[in-house]
Amino acid sequence: MSRRLRILTWHVHGNYLYNLTQVPHDFYLVTDAARSTHHGGRSGSLPWGDNVHEAPADRLQEMPIDVLLFQSRAEWEGDRQQLLSEAQRRLPCIYLEHDPPQEHPTATKHWVDNPEVLLVHVTPFNALMWDSGACPVRVIEHGVKPLVSARYTGARECGIVVVNNMARRGRRLGLDIYRDMAREVPLSLAGMGSEELQADRRSAARPGASATDRRSESRGEILGEVNQLRLPGLMAEHRFFFNPIRYTSLGLAVIEAMLVGLPIVGLATTELVTVIRNGENGFIDTRPDRLATAMKQLLADPAQARSMGEAARRTAEERFGIERFVAEWRRAIDSVTG
């Protein structure tokens, strides 16, 4: 890296952005007066570094910028045209795509489709599924810098699920699978909007509910949105991490749980199939009944859960270390700036 660069971007995924800002450049986050979606700047409880700054939207054209880093279609098609000068739009540009295609899993062409823009995918699965068009493509897998030091205890005879807005996002995020599994095993649910599913817990405690339903109700909780600095310690208390999501990128919450030392149980879909090895660091399958059996096994055998969680932690440290992530991002940025 020949010099420190000024990178303009948006606050799209907080935890990813925190890890990205470990790259030794200066990051300027676009803000507006309303702190609207993706324009929140240095918001939340994350310990932002001194290299993270705010960039008021109405002053962008006056600011010296070296690199543009887009992370969502709204900003690519809106802010790029409305807020930036013509000269700024010609700056070196990267588009960071966080998700697999959602309109059609194999026949969706990425909207950037520009040979002058580097398209970065966060998993090999995502890169495989997107038609990336004319864009040059790189895959930079997640890297995680733990927010706090937390280690697995598994003291709670209960699994934990971490999904934001599951009620609104439905089957793709595994709402039906979560509901079915919560009737089989005790599961705590954390995430924005999780309170919307409180009625599910009340129905489990209805008159005439089975003894299994009542035990699950007493051990699993709706936790609501959990502060990012508190979440690792909270996860560490649970016996395992359950990921009910059918179709998404490899979630950072999964990796963060692995780094704490939780075994992972989830659907054998998308990139998770390259991370979890059955019986070693977790269990994956496309049959929910087999996942329920695996979760019950971990609840009945704390020693096995701890051993598999230790294997999960080693996997995460080897594959998703922050040093590798920073090095790959530095090379990507150098490739567009020359």
State pLDDT tens for residues 8-58: 999 999 999 999 999 999 999 999 999 999 999 999 999 999 999 999 999
pLDDT category, 215, cuts 50, 70, 90?
Answer: very low
Res 194 pLDDT > 50: yes
| 162, β-bridge pairs | 190
Give CA separation, 95 vs 8, 27, 45, 72, 175, in Å.
Answer: 12, 15, 26, 8, 30
Q: Over the chain, what is the mean pLDDT?
A: 93
pLDDT of residue 91: 98
Backbone phi, then psi, for 16, in 5-degree steps? -65, -45
Provide the pLDDT confidence category of residue 316 given band limits of 50, 70 and 90.
very high
pLDDT band of 268, cuts 50, 70, 90: very high
Average pLDDT over residues 264-289: 98
Which among 109, 106, 101 has a CA at the least distance from the CA of 133? 109
pLDDT at 210 exceeding the cut of 90: no
The pTM of this model reads: 0.92
What are the distances in angstroms from CA 132 to CA 43, 97, 101, 111, 335? 32, 10, 10, 8, 18
What band does 308 get if pLDDT is binned at 50, 70 and 90?
very high
**What letter represents residue 15's amino acid?**
N
Residue 159 has pLDDT above 70, yes or no: yes
Are 93 and 338 contacting, i.e. CB atoms less than 8 angstroms apart?
Answer: no
Closest by Cα among 128, 122, 138, 89 to 108? 128
- CA 10 to chain centroid: 16
Terminal-residue alpha carbon distance, the chain = 10
Rounded Cα–Cα distance for residues 34 and 142 (Å): 30
Q: In angstroms, rounded to a whole number, what is the distance separating the alpha carbons of residues 111 and 133? A: 8
